[in-house]
Structure 1
Amino acid sequence: MEQHNAGRTPVTVIGLGLMGQALAGAFLRNGHPTTVWNRTAAKAEQLVKQGATLAGSVSDAVAASPLVVICVSDYDAVHGLLDPLGEVLDGRVLVNLTSGTSAQARETAEWAAGRGIDYLDGAILALPAGIDAGDEAVIYSGPRPTFERHEPTLRSLASGTMHLGDDPGLASLHDVAVLTMMWSILNGFLHGAALVGTAGVPATAFTPLVKMLIGTVTGWLDGYAQQIEEGTYPGFDSTLDTHVDAMEHVIHESESLGVNAELPRFVKALADRAVAAGQGGDGYTVLIEQFRKP
Protein backbone atom coordinates (compact mmCIF):
# COMPACT_ATOMS: atom_id res chain seq x y z
CA MET A 1 0.00 0.00 0.00
CA GLU A 2 1.51 3.32 -1.06
CA GLN A 3 1.54 6.03 1.58
CA HIS A 4 0.26 9.42 0.35
CA ASN A 5 2.24 11.31 2.96
CA ALA A 6 2.64 14.83 1.65
CA GLY A 7 2.15 17.09 4.64
CA ARG A 8 1.15 14.22 6.89
CA THR A 9 2.67 13.96 10.36
CA PRO A 10 4.89 10.89 10.79
CA VAL A 11 3.62 8.61 13.54
CA THR A 12 5.14 5.77 15.53
CA VAL A 13 2.95 3.02 16.99
CA ILE A 14 4.45 0.94 19.81
CA GLY A 15 2.63 -2.30 20.59
CA LEU A 16 1.07 -4.41 17.87
CA GLY A 17 -1.58 -6.44 19.57
CA LEU A 18 -4.90 -6.51 17.77
CA MET A 19 -5.65 -2.93 18.76
CA GLY A 20 -2.17 -1.64 17.99
CA GLN A 21 -2.31 -3.22 14.53
CA ALA A 22 -5.67 -1.53 13.93
CA LEU A 23 -4.27 1.84 15.02
CA ALA A 24 -1.24 1.57 12.77
CA GLY A 25 -3.44 0.48 9.88
CA ALA A 26 -5.66 3.53 10.34
CA PHE A 27 -2.69 5.89 10.24
CA LEU A 28 -1.45 4.18 7.08
CA ARG A 29 -4.84 4.44 5.39
CA ASN A 30 -4.84 8.15 6.12
CA GLY A 31 -1.45 8.69 4.55
CA HIS A 32 0.74 9.10 7.62
CA PRO A 33 4.30 7.76 7.40
CA THR A 34 4.05 5.09 10.08
CA THR A 35 6.83 3.41 12.02
CA VAL A 36 5.94 0.39 14.16
CA TRP A 37 7.60 -1.68 16.84
CA ASN A 38 6.57 -4.77 18.73
CA ARG A 39 8.45 -7.19 20.92
CA THR A 40 7.41 -9.94 18.49
CA ALA A 41 8.42 -8.48 15.15
CA ALA A 42 6.33 -10.99 13.17
CA LYS A 43 3.19 -9.09 14.17
CA ALA A 44 4.34 -6.22 11.96
CA GLU A 45 4.54 -8.23 8.74
CA GLN A 46 1.15 -7.26 7.33
CA LEU A 47 1.66 -3.60 8.27
CA VAL A 48 5.05 -3.56 6.56
CA LYS A 49 3.37 -4.89 3.41
CA GLN A 50 0.97 -1.96 3.66
CA GLY A 51 3.84 0.53 3.85
CA ALA A 52 4.85 0.74 7.49
CA THR A 53 8.47 0.85 8.58
CA LEU A 54 9.51 -1.71 11.19
CA ALA A 55 11.94 -0.24 13.73
CA GLY A 56 14.68 -2.43 15.12
CA SER A 57 14.27 -1.15 18.68
CA VAL A 58 11.95 0.92 20.83
CA SER A 59 14.52 3.72 20.78
CA ASP A 60 14.65 3.71 16.97
CA ALA A 61 10.85 3.69 16.83
CA VAL A 62 10.56 6.73 19.09
CA ALA A 63 13.28 8.59 17.22
CA ALA A 64 11.48 8.08 13.91
CA SER A 65 8.45 10.29 14.59
CA PRO A 66 7.44 13.44 16.46
CA LEU A 67 4.19 11.73 17.53
CA VAL A 68 4.46 8.44 19.41
CA VAL A 69 1.36 6.34 20.15
CA ILE A 70 1.73 3.49 22.61
CA CYS A 71 -0.88 0.80 23.19
CA VAL A 72 0.36 -2.10 25.28
CA SER A 73 -0.95 -4.41 27.98
CA ASP A 74 -0.76 -2.08 30.98
CA TYR A 75 1.00 0.98 32.41
CA ASP A 76 3.81 -1.14 33.85
CA ALA A 77 4.58 -2.25 30.31
CA VAL A 78 4.53 1.39 29.16
CA HIS A 79 7.14 2.34 31.72
CA GLY A 80 9.15 -0.82 31.14
CA LEU A 81 9.56 0.17 27.50
CA LEU A 82 9.95 3.94 27.81
CA ASP A 83 11.71 4.59 31.12
CA PRO A 84 15.11 3.37 29.87
CA LEU A 85 15.08 5.54 26.73
CA GLY A 86 16.34 8.80 28.21
CA GLU A 87 16.87 11.75 25.88
CA VAL A 88 15.41 10.11 22.77
CA LEU A 89 11.95 11.05 24.11
CA ASP A 90 12.86 14.77 24.31
CA GLY A 91 10.63 16.89 22.13
CA ARG A 92 8.25 14.04 21.34
CA VAL A 93 4.52 13.98 21.92
CA LEU A 94 3.47 10.77 23.66
CA VAL A 95 -0.11 9.55 23.28
CA ASN A 96 -0.81 6.68 25.64
CA LEU A 97 -3.81 4.58 24.60
CA THR A 98 -3.10 1.83 27.12
CA SER A 99 -6.01 0.89 29.38
CA GLY A 100 -5.63 1.72 33.06
CA THR A 101 -6.89 3.89 35.90
CA SER A 102 -7.07 7.64 36.26
CA ALA A 103 -4.39 7.52 38.97
CA GLN A 104 -2.01 5.70 36.63
CA ALA A 105 -2.70 8.24 33.90
CA ARG A 106 -1.94 11.16 36.22
CA GLU A 107 1.23 9.52 37.51
CA THR A 108 2.40 8.89 33.94
CA ALA A 109 1.64 12.51 33.02
CA GLU A 110 3.85 13.63 35.93
CA TRP A 111 6.57 11.25 34.75
CA ALA A 112 6.34 12.73 31.23
CA ALA A 113 6.37 16.34 32.47
CA GLY A 114 9.53 15.62 34.45
CA ARG A 115 11.22 14.59 31.20
CA GLY A 116 9.92 17.43 29.03
CA ILE A 117 7.54 15.16 27.10
CA ASP A 118 4.16 16.45 25.90
CA TYR A 119 1.66 13.85 27.07
CA LEU A 120 -1.90 12.91 26.20
CA ASP A 121 -3.71 10.03 27.80
CA GLY A 122 -6.48 8.34 25.86
CA ALA A 123 -9.00 5.55 25.83
CA ILE A 124 -10.42 3.63 22.90
CA LEU A 125 -14.15 3.02 23.15
CA ALA A 126 -14.23 0.36 20.46
CA LEU A 127 -13.01 -3.07 19.47
CA PRO A 128 -10.20 -3.32 16.89
CA ALA A 129 -12.83 -4.00 14.23
CA GLY A 130 -14.37 -0.63 15.07
CA ILE A 131 -11.10 1.13 14.27
CA ASP A 132 -11.00 -0.70 10.94
CA ALA A 133 -14.62 0.23 10.19
CA GLY A 134 -14.13 3.89 11.03
CA ASP A 135 -17.10 4.09 13.41
CA GLU A 136 -15.22 4.19 16.69
CA ALA A 137 -14.63 6.72 19.45
CA VAL A 138 -11.33 7.65 21.05
CA ILE A 139 -11.27 10.07 23.98
CA TYR A 140 -8.28 12.08 25.16
CA SER A 141 -7.25 14.15 28.15
CA GLY A 142 -4.24 16.32 28.84
CA PRO A 143 -3.13 19.78 27.71
CA ARG A 144 -5.60 21.13 25.16
CA PRO A 145 -2.93 22.90 23.06
CA THR A 146 -1.14 19.57 22.61
CA PHE A 147 -4.38 17.89 21.59
CA GLU A 148 -5.34 20.65 19.17
CA ARG A 149 -1.92 20.59 17.55
CA HIS A 150 -2.26 16.90 16.75
CA GLU A 151 -6.03 16.57 16.45
CA PRO A 152 -5.98 16.24 12.62
CA THR A 153 -3.61 13.27 12.93
CA LEU A 154 -5.51 11.68 15.81
CA ARG A 155 -8.73 11.93 13.82
CA SER A 156 -7.26 9.27 11.56
CA LEU A 157 -8.17 6.84 14.33
CA ALA A 158 -11.72 7.85 15.12
CA SER A 159 -14.70 9.69 13.74
CA GLY A 160 -15.64 10.27 17.38
CA THR A 161 -12.50 12.04 18.63
CA MET A 162 -13.05 14.03 21.82
CA HIS A 163 -10.90 16.01 24.23
CA LEU A 164 -12.33 15.85 27.76
CA GLY A 165 -10.13 18.32 29.60
CA ASP A 166 -6.63 19.17 30.80
CA ASP A 167 -6.71 16.66 33.67
CA PRO A 168 -4.82 13.68 32.18
CA GLY A 169 -6.89 11.25 34.27
CA LEU A 170 -10.21 12.12 32.64
CA ALA A 171 -9.94 9.76 29.68
CA SER A 172 -9.28 6.70 31.85
CA LEU A 173 -11.96 7.79 34.31
CA HIS A 174 -14.55 8.09 31.54
CA ASP A 175 -13.40 4.77 30.13
CA VAL A 176 -14.12 2.83 33.33
CA ALA A 177 -17.39 4.75 33.78
CA VAL A 178 -18.51 3.67 30.31
CA LEU A 179 -17.41 0.10 30.98
CA THR A 180 -19.58 -0.21 34.08
CA MET A 181 -22.52 1.11 32.06
CA MET A 182 -21.81 -1.34 29.23
CA TRP A 183 -21.67 -4.32 31.56
CA SER A 184 -24.87 -3.23 33.29
CA ILE A 185 -26.69 -3.16 29.96
CA LEU A 186 -25.24 -6.47 28.80
CA ASN A 187 -25.85 -8.21 32.13
CA GLY A 188 -29.44 -7.01 32.14
CA PHE A 189 -29.88 -8.36 28.63
CA LEU A 190 -28.34 -11.72 29.52
CA HIS A 191 -30.46 -12.06 32.66
CA GLY A 192 -33.58 -11.16 30.71
CA ALA A 193 -32.70 -13.62 27.95
CA ALA A 194 -32.27 -16.33 30.57
CA LEU A 195 -35.72 -15.53 31.96
CA VAL A 196 -37.63 -15.62 28.67
CA GLY A 197 -35.56 -18.62 27.62
CA THR A 198 -37.31 -20.69 30.29
CA ALA A 199 -40.46 -20.34 28.16
CA GLY A 200 -38.65 -21.36 24.99
CA VAL A 201 -38.36 -17.78 23.70
CA PRO A 202 -35.16 -17.39 21.63
CA ALA A 203 -32.81 -14.55 22.52
CA THR A 204 -33.17 -13.36 18.92
CA ALA A 205 -36.90 -12.90 19.44
CA PHE A 206 -36.35 -11.08 22.74
CA THR A 207 -33.79 -8.66 21.28
CA PRO A 208 -36.13 -6.26 19.37
CA LEU A 209 -38.06 -5.54 22.58
CA VAL A 210 -34.82 -4.93 24.47
CA LYS A 211 -33.56 -2.50 21.81
CA MET A 212 -36.83 -0.58 21.94
CA LEU A 213 -36.65 -0.29 25.73
CA ILE A 214 -33.00 0.76 25.63
CA GLY A 215 -34.11 3.61 23.38
CA THR A 216 -36.81 4.54 25.88
CA VAL A 217 -34.35 4.57 28.77
CA THR A 218 -31.92 6.63 26.70
CA GLY A 219 -34.61 9.28 26.48
CA TRP A 220 -34.67 9.54 30.27
CA LEU A 221 -30.96 10.23 30.70
CA ASP A 222 -30.87 13.99 30.11
CA GLY A 223 -33.53 14.54 32.75
CA TYR A 224 -31.89 12.14 35.18
CA ALA A 225 -28.52 13.86 34.69
CA GLN A 226 -30.10 17.21 35.50
CA GLN A 227 -31.61 15.77 38.68
CA ILE A 228 -28.19 14.47 39.72
CA GLU A 229 -26.58 17.86 39.13
CA GLU A 230 -29.31 19.63 41.10
CA GLY A 231 -29.29 17.05 43.90
CA THR A 232 -33.07 16.66 43.75
CA TYR A 233 -34.76 13.38 42.91
CA PRO A 234 -38.47 13.94 42.28
CA GLY A 235 -40.61 10.82 42.13
CA PHE A 236 -43.09 12.32 39.70
CA ASP A 237 -43.00 9.33 37.34
CA SER A 238 -42.31 6.49 39.76
CA THR A 239 -41.03 6.40 43.32
CA LEU A 240 -38.24 4.20 44.56
CA ASP A 241 -40.80 2.31 46.67
CA THR A 242 -42.58 1.34 43.46
CA HIS A 243 -39.32 0.21 41.89
CA VAL A 244 -38.55 -1.92 44.95
CA ASP A 245 -41.86 -3.74 44.54
CA ALA A 246 -40.98 -4.47 40.90
CA MET A 247 -37.50 -5.65 41.91
CA GLU A 248 -39.09 -8.16 44.25
CA HIS A 249 -41.15 -9.48 41.34
CA VAL A 250 -37.99 -9.97 39.27
CA ILE A 251 -36.30 -11.82 42.14
CA HIS A 252 -39.31 -14.06 42.74
CA GLU A 253 -39.72 -14.82 39.03
CA SER A 254 -36.03 -15.63 38.67
CA GLU A 255 -35.97 -17.96 41.64
CA SER A 256 -39.20 -19.72 40.71
CA LEU A 257 -37.86 -20.40 37.20
CA GLY A 258 -34.43 -21.54 38.35
CA VAL A 259 -32.64 -18.47 36.98
CA ASN A 260 -29.80 -16.84 38.92
CA ALA A 261 -31.23 -14.00 41.03
CA GLU A 262 -27.98 -12.46 42.28
CA LEU A 263 -28.16 -9.46 39.93
CA PRO A 264 -31.68 -8.29 40.86
CA ARG A 265 -30.95 -9.05 44.53
CA PHE A 266 -27.92 -6.76 44.41
CA VAL A 267 -29.93 -3.97 42.79
CA LYS A 268 -32.66 -4.35 45.40
CA ALA A 269 -30.09 -4.31 48.21
CA LEU A 270 -28.97 -0.85 47.06
CA ALA A 271 -32.57 0.32 46.83
CA ASP A 272 -33.38 -1.10 50.27
CA ARG A 273 -30.58 0.99 51.79
CA ALA A 274 -32.04 4.14 50.26
CA VAL A 275 -35.51 3.25 51.48
CA ALA A 276 -34.12 2.66 54.99
CA ALA A 277 -32.62 6.14 54.80
CA GLY A 278 -36.09 7.57 54.21
CA GLN A 279 -35.75 8.03 50.45
CA GLY A 280 -38.45 5.63 49.27
CA GLY A 281 -40.63 8.49 48.07
CA ASP A 282 -37.87 9.90 45.85
CA GLY A 283 -37.23 8.98 42.23
CA TYR A 284 -34.87 6.27 41.01
CA THR A 285 -31.97 8.70 40.59
CA VAL A 286 -31.66 8.93 44.38
CA LEU A 287 -29.62 5.72 44.11
CA ILE A 288 -26.68 7.90 42.96
CA GLU A 289 -26.12 8.49 46.66
CA GLN A 290 -25.60 4.76 47.19
CA PHE A 291 -23.11 4.55 44.34
CA ARG A 292 -21.19 7.50 45.74
CA LYS A 293 -20.50 5.66 49.00
CA PRO A 294 -17.38 3.52 49.45
Structure 2
Amino acid sequence: MAVVVACLVVGAAGVLAGGGAVALFSDEETVSGSFSVATDYDSGTPATNVTTPGNASTHENGTSAKNESTTAPGNGTRNGTHDRGTNDTALEVAAVSLSGDGELTTGEAATVTVRAVNRANESRELAATLSVDGTATATNTTTVSPNETASLTLSRTLESPGNYTLAAAGRVAGTVTVSAPVADIDVTDASVAQGEVQVNETVPVSATVANDGGANGSVDLVLRANGTAIDSRAVRLGPGERDTVEFDPAFEAAGSYDLTVDGVDAGTVLVENDTDLNDSS
Protein backbone atom coordinates (compact mmCIF):
# COMPACT_ATOMS: atom_id res chain seq x y z
CA MET A 1 0.00 0.00 0.00
CA ALA A 2 1.34 3.51 -0.85
CA VAL A 3 0.71 6.69 1.14
CA VAL A 4 1.08 10.17 -0.36
CA VAL A 5 1.94 13.00 2.00
CA ALA A 6 1.66 16.54 0.58
CA CYS A 7 2.15 20.04 1.92
CA LEU A 8 0.30 23.05 0.36
CA VAL A 9 1.48 26.66 0.60
CA VAL A 10 0.06 29.91 -0.90
CA GLY A 11 2.51 31.47 -3.34
CA ALA A 12 2.74 34.90 -4.86
CA ALA A 13 -0.08 36.29 -7.07
CA GLY A 14 -2.71 34.12 -5.53
CA VAL A 15 -1.12 30.95 -6.80
CA LEU A 16 -1.54 27.90 -4.66
CA ALA A 17 1.68 25.92 -4.85
CA GLY A 18 2.14 22.48 -3.45
CA GLY A 19 5.37 20.87 -2.49
CA GLY A 20 6.08 17.74 -0.54
CA ALA A 21 7.42 14.28 -0.51
CA VAL A 22 6.05 11.00 -1.66
CA ALA A 23 6.92 8.23 0.74
CA LEU A 24 6.10 4.72 -0.38
CA PHE A 25 6.10 2.10 2.32
CA SER A 26 5.92 -1.59 2.05
CA ASP A 27 6.91 -4.39 4.39
CA GLU A 28 10.42 -4.52 2.95
CA GLU A 29 11.63 -1.05 1.82
CA THR A 30 11.31 2.73 2.01
CA VAL A 31 11.59 4.93 -1.09
CA SER A 32 12.06 8.69 -0.68
CA GLY A 33 11.67 11.36 -3.36
CA SER A 34 10.00 14.70 -4.25
CA PHE A 35 7.05 15.96 -6.22
CA SER A 36 5.40 19.30 -7.08
CA VAL A 37 1.81 20.44 -7.51
CA ALA A 38 1.02 23.88 -9.00
CA THR A 39 -2.55 25.08 -9.49
CA ASP A 40 -4.07 28.55 -9.99
CA TYR A 41 -6.62 28.88 -7.23
CA ASP A 42 -8.92 31.09 -9.27
CA SER A 43 -8.58 29.87 -12.83
CA GLY A 44 -7.04 26.48 -12.47
CA THR A 45 -4.23 27.40 -14.86
CA PRO A 46 -0.87 25.93 -14.16
CA ALA A 47 1.33 28.03 -11.93
CA THR A 48 5.07 28.03 -11.58
CA ASN A 49 6.24 24.69 -10.32
CA VAL A 50 7.64 24.77 -6.83
CA THR A 51 9.61 21.75 -5.79
CA THR A 52 10.31 20.96 -2.17
CA PRO A 53 12.68 18.15 -1.20
CA GLY A 54 10.72 15.31 0.22
CA ASN A 55 11.28 13.69 3.61
CA ALA A 56 10.73 10.05 4.23
CA SER A 57 8.84 9.11 7.34
CA THR A 58 8.27 5.84 9.04
CA HIS A 59 5.10 3.95 8.38
CA GLU A 60 4.32 3.38 12.04
CA ASN A 61 4.72 6.72 13.82
CA GLY A 62 5.47 9.31 11.18
CA THR A 63 8.84 10.37 12.61
CA SER A 64 11.54 11.49 10.25
CA ALA A 65 13.87 8.74 9.14
CA LYS A 66 16.24 11.15 7.30
CA ASN A 67 17.20 8.46 4.83
CA GLU A 68 19.19 6.65 7.51
CA SER A 69 19.76 2.94 7.39
CA THR A 70 19.75 0.52 10.28
CA THR A 71 22.35 -2.20 10.29
CA ALA A 72 22.07 -5.37 12.36
CA PRO A 73 25.08 -7.70 12.62
CA GLY A 74 24.84 -10.50 10.15
CA ASN A 75 21.52 -9.33 8.64
CA GLY A 76 20.43 -7.32 5.59
CA THR A 77 19.18 -3.74 6.06
CA ARG A 78 16.36 -1.76 4.52
CA ASN A 79 18.67 0.17 2.23
CA GLY A 80 20.23 -3.01 0.89
CA THR A 81 23.52 -2.87 2.83
CA HIS A 82 24.69 -5.74 5.06
CA ASP A 83 27.60 -6.76 7.23
CA ARG A 84 29.30 -10.10 7.67
CA GLY A 85 28.66 -10.59 11.39
CA THR A 86 31.26 -12.12 13.70
CA ASN A 87 33.23 -14.93 12.14
CA ASP A 88 34.05 -16.71 15.44
CA THR A 89 34.56 -20.41 15.87
CA ALA A 90 33.06 -22.15 18.90
CA LEU A 91 35.29 -23.74 21.52
CA GLU A 92 36.93 -26.89 20.26
CA VAL A 93 37.41 -29.74 22.73
CA ALA A 94 40.93 -30.98 22.08
CA ALA A 95 41.14 -33.88 24.54
CA VAL A 96 39.30 -35.68 27.34
CA SER A 97 41.51 -37.88 29.52
CA LEU A 98 41.29 -40.05 32.63
CA SER A 99 43.89 -39.61 35.36
CA GLY A 100 45.75 -42.55 36.86
CA ASP A 101 45.97 -46.19 35.80
CA GLY A 102 42.25 -46.92 36.02
CA GLU A 103 42.57 -48.88 39.28
CA LEU A 104 40.89 -47.45 42.38
CA THR A 105 39.72 -48.63 45.77
CA THR A 106 36.37 -47.71 47.23
CA GLY A 107 36.35 -44.19 48.61
CA GLU A 108 38.87 -42.90 46.08
CA ALA A 109 38.03 -40.31 43.42
CA ALA A 110 38.18 -40.74 39.65
CA THR A 111 39.36 -37.57 37.86
CA VAL A 112 38.77 -36.54 34.24
CA THR A 113 40.50 -33.60 32.51
CA VAL A 114 38.89 -31.68 29.63
CA ARG A 115 41.18 -29.54 27.45
CA ALA A 116 39.74 -27.05 24.94
CA VAL A 117 41.05 -24.53 22.40
CA ASN A 118 39.39 -21.13 21.87
CA ARG A 119 40.01 -19.98 18.30
CA ALA A 120 37.72 -16.96 18.62
CA ASN A 121 38.81 -13.37 19.18
CA GLU A 122 36.95 -13.11 22.46
CA SER A 123 36.91 -15.09 25.69
CA ARG A 124 34.61 -18.08 25.87
CA GLU A 125 33.33 -20.14 28.79
CA LEU A 126 34.11 -23.84 28.82
CA ALA A 127 31.53 -25.87 30.74
CA ALA A 128 31.67 -29.65 31.07
CA THR A 129 29.71 -32.29 32.96
CA LEU A 130 31.16 -35.57 34.18
CA SER A 131 28.99 -38.64 33.69
CA VAL A 132 29.52 -42.03 35.31
CA ASP A 133 27.85 -44.85 33.41
CA GLY A 134 25.67 -42.25 31.68
CA THR A 135 24.57 -40.43 34.84
CA ALA A 136 25.64 -36.79 35.27
CA THR A 137 27.52 -36.40 38.53
CA ALA A 138 29.61 -33.20 38.50
CA THR A 139 29.93 -29.96 36.52
CA ASN A 140 32.76 -27.46 36.25
CA THR A 141 33.42 -24.29 34.23
CA THR A 142 36.41 -22.17 33.27
CA THR A 143 37.09 -19.18 31.02
CA VAL A 144 39.25 -19.68 27.94
CA SER A 145 41.03 -16.54 26.70
CA PRO A 146 41.05 -15.66 22.99
CA ASN A 147 43.29 -17.95 20.94
CA GLU A 148 44.35 -19.85 24.06
CA THR A 149 44.07 -23.39 25.46
CA ALA A 150 42.64 -24.14 28.90
CA SER A 151 41.74 -27.22 30.95
CA LEU A 152 39.31 -28.09 33.69
CA THR A 153 39.03 -31.16 35.91
CA LEU A 154 36.02 -33.12 37.07
CA SER A 155 36.12 -35.62 39.94
CA ARG A 156 33.78 -38.18 41.44
CA THR A 157 34.31 -40.36 44.52
CA LEU A 158 33.32 -43.97 43.86
CA GLU A 159 32.07 -45.79 46.93
CA SER A 160 31.21 -49.25 45.57
CA PRO A 161 33.34 -51.91 43.86
CA GLY A 162 32.77 -52.38 40.14
CA ASN A 163 33.68 -51.16 36.66
CA TYR A 164 32.67 -47.63 35.67
CA THR A 165 32.77 -45.75 32.35
CA LEU A 166 33.49 -42.04 32.66
CA ALA A 167 32.72 -39.42 30.00
CA ALA A 168 32.75 -35.63 29.64
CA ALA A 169 32.13 -33.08 26.88
CA GLY A 170 30.55 -35.77 24.74
CA ARG A 171 33.61 -38.03 24.81
CA VAL A 172 34.46 -41.19 26.72
CA ALA A 173 37.44 -40.61 29.00
CA GLY A 174 37.97 -44.24 30.00
CA THR A 175 36.97 -47.03 32.35
CA VAL A 176 38.00 -47.49 35.98
CA THR A 177 37.89 -50.60 38.12
CA VAL A 178 37.03 -50.01 41.76
CA SER A 179 37.98 -52.68 44.30
CA ALA A 180 37.31 -53.07 47.98
CA PRO A 181 40.32 -52.06 50.12
CA VAL A 182 42.65 -54.80 51.33
CA ALA A 183 45.43 -55.02 53.86
CA ASP A 184 49.02 -54.77 52.61
CA ILE A 185 51.30 -55.94 55.41
CA ASP A 186 55.03 -56.29 54.79
CA VAL A 187 58.25 -56.50 56.78
CA THR A 188 60.23 -53.32 56.18
CA ASP A 189 63.32 -54.11 58.24
CA ALA A 190 64.88 -56.96 60.26
CA SER A 191 68.02 -57.33 62.37
CA VAL A 192 69.83 -59.66 64.77
CA ALA A 193 71.16 -58.23 68.04
CA GLN A 194 74.28 -60.42 68.36
CA GLY A 195 76.63 -61.89 65.81
CA GLU A 196 78.06 -64.62 68.06
CA VAL A 197 76.39 -66.77 70.73
CA GLN A 198 76.87 -70.08 72.48
CA VAL A 199 74.88 -73.20 71.81
CA ASN A 200 71.36 -72.92 73.32
CA GLU A 201 71.83 -69.21 73.96
CA THR A 202 68.93 -67.06 72.72
CA VAL A 203 69.52 -64.65 69.89
CA PRO A 204 67.28 -61.52 69.86
CA VAL A 205 65.89 -60.89 66.36
CA SER A 206 63.55 -57.98 65.59
CA ALA A 207 61.44 -57.09 62.56
CA THR A 208 59.50 -53.95 61.69
CA VAL A 209 56.19 -54.56 59.94
CA ALA A 210 53.78 -52.05 58.34
CA ASN A 211 50.30 -52.12 56.84
CA ASP A 212 50.20 -49.85 53.80
CA GLY A 213 46.78 -51.10 52.72
CA GLY A 214 43.34 -49.66 53.25
CA ALA A 215 41.88 -52.34 55.51
CA ASN A 216 42.64 -54.22 58.70
CA GLY A 217 44.71 -57.32 58.18
CA SER A 218 46.62 -60.14 59.80
CA VAL A 219 49.77 -61.96 58.80
CA ASP A 220 52.04 -64.67 60.21
CA LEU A 221 55.67 -63.57 60.15
CA VAL A 222 58.07 -66.50 59.76
CA LEU A 223 61.65 -66.53 61.05
CA ARG A 224 63.96 -68.75 59.03
CA ALA A 225 67.51 -69.95 59.66
CA ASN A 226 69.35 -71.08 56.55
CA GLY A 227 65.97 -71.29 54.81
CA THR A 228 64.27 -73.45 57.45
CA ALA A 229 61.33 -72.04 59.42
CA ILE A 230 62.15 -72.02 63.12
CA ASP A 231 59.58 -69.63 64.60
CA SER A 232 56.56 -67.43 63.73
CA ARG A 233 54.52 -64.55 65.10
CA ALA A 234 50.95 -63.50 64.28
CA VAL A 235 50.51 -59.78 63.64
CA ARG A 236 47.31 -57.77 63.11
CA LEU A 237 47.48 -54.17 61.90
CA GLY A 238 45.02 -51.51 60.85
CA PRO A 239 45.46 -49.27 57.79
CA GLY A 240 48.66 -47.24 58.11
CA GLU A 241 49.80 -48.97 61.31
CA ARG A 242 53.34 -50.18 62.06
CA ASP A 243 54.73 -52.52 64.72
CA THR A 244 57.94 -54.22 65.86
CA VAL A 245 57.97 -57.99 66.31
CA GLU A 246 60.58 -59.79 68.46
CA PHE A 247 61.95 -63.33 68.08
CA ASP A 248 64.23 -65.19 70.55
CA PRO A 249 65.58 -68.29 68.84
CA ALA A 250 68.21 -70.58 70.36
CA PHE A 251 70.35 -73.06 68.46
CA GLU A 252 71.33 -76.48 69.76
CA ALA A 253 74.10 -77.04 67.25
CA ALA A 254 77.12 -74.95 66.54
CA GLY A 255 77.36 -73.34 63.15
CA SER A 256 76.63 -70.27 61.06
CA TYR A 257 72.99 -69.31 60.54
CA ASP A 258 71.59 -66.81 58.05
CA LEU A 259 68.39 -65.38 59.51
CA THR A 260 65.44 -63.90 57.59
CA VAL A 261 61.97 -62.68 58.56
CA ASP A 262 59.43 -63.14 55.77
CA GLY A 263 62.29 -63.07 53.29
CA VAL A 264 63.91 -59.92 54.67
CA ASP A 265 67.54 -60.45 55.68
CA ALA A 266 68.12 -60.04 59.43
CA GLY A 267 71.82 -60.95 59.48
CA THR A 268 74.07 -63.91 60.28
CA VAL A 269 74.74 -65.38 63.69
CA LEU A 270 77.67 -67.64 64.59
CA VAL A 271 76.81 -70.30 67.19
CA GLU A 272 79.73 -71.90 69.03
CA ASN A 273 80.22 -74.58 71.67
CA ASP A 274 81.62 -73.68 75.06
CA THR A 275 84.83 -75.55 74.25
CA ASP A 276 85.23 -73.52 71.06
CA LEU A 277 84.94 -70.31 73.03
CA ASN A 278 87.44 -71.52 75.66
CA ASP A 279 89.91 -72.60 73.00
CA SER A 280 89.69 -69.26 71.26
CA SER A 281 90.39 -67.45 74.52
Q: Higher relative contact order by CA 8 Å / sep ≥ 6: 1 or 2?
A: 1
Structure with more strand by fraction: 2
Q: Which has the higher helix share?
A: 1
Q: Which has the larger radius of gyration?
A: 2
